[in-house]
């Protein structure tokens, strides 16, 4: 194994930093831990941790993006599934329809919860596991009928989490691929975008535009020039849910 200090440039703010990565295998070229010196006001996530045994240390996880998933069962059922070593699956985070969040696999970020044992790779997207942070969203029990399944509480809670992760790991706040495209994207994507995976989550109704607007809003609110608790520079995006089709949203 070869460890090399790689130079990273944050795609969001331009700050440069270095981070040691394992270079044999497919190391991402442009991502990594970017503990921004100017983000002194970035507060730690207040998310409870319940351990999943389904994780490993297959190289240091150097997240180049975030994979959005949905669960096939309820929130508590998904937690139990990830606690069960026989299931062989996990994700770093699960977000419930009412906005509750839980972390089940630790991250190489000392400000998040969980054991510091180096086993930061969750088992959520096969060959993409060492590249991506996985966020599951409680979905399946309503029957997955349309955009109304993605509650505002869940989207806001998840977007706040994602904004923190984008600050920490210099992940660009963008969705580079269409739902039917598969590639090793940098930024945000669905499970359906990850090569060599057959899953179709998060499905055709995930409100990507609204979600990314929310991530950008929280991202800006976490910036160093926004003291904790200060009013954000712009109003939070509001979603209008219609009966079917792509959700419309507006920024007030």
**Residues near Zn ion, by CB under 5 A:** 69, 191, 199, 201
Shortest Å distance, C-beta 140 to Zn ion:
11
Structure tokens at 160: 């706040």
Please identify, using beta-carbon distances, which residue of 201 and 213 lies nearer to Zn ion: 201
In the complex, minimum distance from the CB of residue 64 to Zn ion, in angstroms, rounded to a whole number: 17
**Which is closer to Zn ion, CB of 8 or CB of 206?**
206
Calculate the alpha carbon distances from 212 to 70, 72, 87, 156, 207 in Å.
Answer: 17, 23, 31, 10, 9
Alpha carbon 176 to its chain's center = 15
Closest CB 247 distance from Zn ion, rounded Å: 21
Closest separation in Å from C-beta 42 to Zn ion = 28
What backbone torsions phi and psi does residue 19 show, to the nearest 5 degrees?
-150, 135
Question: Which CB atom, from 126 or from 242, has the smaller least distance to Zn ion?
Answer: 126
Specify whether the CB–CB gap between 122 and 113 falls below 8 A.
Answer: no
Of 125 and 223, CB closest to Zn ion: 125
């Amino acid at each position: 194994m070869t460890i090399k200090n790689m130079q990273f440039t944050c795609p969001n703010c331009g700050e440069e930093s270095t981070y040691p990565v394992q270079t044999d295998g497919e190391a991402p070229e442009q991502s990594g831990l970017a503990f921004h010196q100017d983000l002194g006001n970035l507060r730690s996530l207040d998310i409870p941790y319940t351990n999943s045994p389904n994780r490993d240390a297959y190289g240091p996880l150097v997240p180049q993006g975030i994979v959005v998933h949905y669960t096939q069962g309820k929130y508590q059922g998904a937690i139990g599934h990830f606690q069960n070593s026989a299931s062989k699956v996990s994700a770093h985070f699960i977000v419930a329809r009412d906005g509750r969040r839980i972390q089940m696999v630790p991250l190489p970020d000392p400000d998040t919860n969980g054991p510091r044992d180096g086993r930061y790779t969750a088992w959520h997207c096969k060959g993409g596991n060492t590249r991506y942070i996985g966020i599951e969203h409680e979905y399946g029990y309503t029957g997955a009928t349309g955009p109304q399944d993605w509650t505002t509480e869940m989207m806001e809670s998840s977007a706040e989490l994602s904004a923190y992760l984008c600050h920490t790991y210099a992940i660009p706040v963008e969705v580079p691929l269409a739902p039917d495209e598969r590639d090793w994207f940098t930024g945000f994507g669905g499970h359906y975008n990850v090569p060599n995976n057959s899953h179709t989550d998060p499905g055709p109704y995930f409100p990507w535009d609204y979600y990314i607007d929310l991530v950008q809003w929280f991202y800006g609110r976490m910036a160093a020039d926004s003291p904790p608790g200060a009013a954000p520079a712009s109003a939070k995006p509001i979603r209008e849910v219609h009966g079917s089709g792509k959700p419309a949203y507006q920024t007030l």
